[in-house]
A = this chain, B = another copy of it.
Amino acid sequence: MAMQFLSDNAAAVHPALWEAMARADTPDAPYDGDALSQRLDTAFSDLFGRPCAVLWVATGTAANCLALATMVPPHGGVICHREAHIEVDECGAPGFYTHGAKLMLVEGEGAKLAPAAIAAQLAGIRGDVHQVQAHAVSVTQASEYGRAYSPDEMAALAALAETNGLRLHVDGARFANAVAHLGCTPWEACQGADALSFGCVKNGGMNAEAIVFFDSALADVARYRRKRAGHLQSKGRYMAAQLLAMLAGDLWLANARAANASARHIAAAAGGRLLHPVEANELFLRVTAAERGALRAQGFVFYDWGDDAARLVTAWNSDPAHVEALARAIAAL
């Protein structure tokens, strides 16, 4: 029997979301004119303690790229990490949505961006028309390696962005996991952002993500861009239902805490094999091909990560027995 640690992105949908979608199964206004969609701004404004304008879309790629398209002109650039999802895993979607803006790649430990690295990148750009000028920074909370930015780190990034006239985007495909880890408020985990891609799919959703705009002027542009990109679903109420169900009773945090706890349990067994501290629900382990084979022989499913490592991801519904089995199996390698 397969024990799934491949990704959180294909896990089952949380029962509360199924119920919310079922309740939405009566006619209402199409697109985002329905009662549920109309409730999103308020729900997220309450969550973040400030005015939010919120648009649902079906994927994180759409969320990231629609947000970026409101921040950077076609002739501009977005500073991001070399291993950011927008650079590595979206088939050039930022180039599509921004009409050719450039991703400006910066290195940083744990796939995190440090203000000094951003500043160095900025310093290397001549301020003339021959070079693409940076207009925005995009960071991932938690990062591609499951690392969280602390509130202080976010504050420093926000300050740097503001000083340099840059917009700030936060890719929060696993924002819930970061907030659950940090124990801070949602706003502290993305403070200074102009827009946040608030992930739901990896956290028990079916096919809804929220773009949370903290600057409503950007949302006004994004509404047209969303339609233009074919992301304005006519039965959007099923997406709104998912998002509202996630926020209700802080289900989003409960789900993330469960996934994080599973990851920590495995991490405790992995000890020195960990390539990165575990601050979310992803584990990167130093394991040989033979060791990976041994794990797979026991039924564990996961990705190779280069030649000498593996990536394992827990989900909101990771089976505790599988988690325990994995922890033991790793300890026994």
Contact = CB atoms under 8 A, between A and B. Distances in A.
Contacts of A206: 235, 238
A101 interface: yes
A227 B90 contact: yes
Interface in A37-73: 57-66, 73
Contact of A229 (B2, B9, B18, B96): B96
A140 to B, nearest CB: 16
A91 B12 contact: no
Contacts of A28: 10
B18 A22 contact: yes
A13 to B, nearest CB: 6
A88 interface: yes
B233 A231 contact: no
Interface stretch (A109-117, A217-225, A264-272, A275-283): A217-225
Copies of the polypeptide in the assembly: 4
A226 B62 contact: no
Interface stretch (A129-137, A245-253, A254-262): A129-137
A10 B58 contact: no
A89 interface: yes
B9 A30 contact: yes
A7 interface: yes
A91 B57 contact: no
Interface of A is mostly: loop
B26 A12 contact: yes
A75 B89 contact: no
Contact of A58 (B29, B99, B202, B230): B230
B27 A4 contact: yes
A320 interface: no
A169 interface: no
Interface string A11-30: 11100001000100111111
B92 A228 contact: yes
B25 A10 contact: no
A299 interface: no
B230 A130 contact: no
Nearest to A129: B227
A64 B325 CA distance: 47
Interface of A: 2, 4, 6-7, 9-13, 18, 22, 25-30, 34, 57-66, 73-75, 77, 88-93, 95-102, 129-133, 201-202, 206-207, 221, 223-235, 237-239
Given A10-B27, A95-B102, A99-B99, 15 more contacts: A10-B235, A10-B237, A13-B25, A57-B230, A62-B230, A64-B230, A74-B74, A75-B221, A75-B224, A77-B92, A90-B228, A91-B129, A93-B227, A229-B229, A230-B231
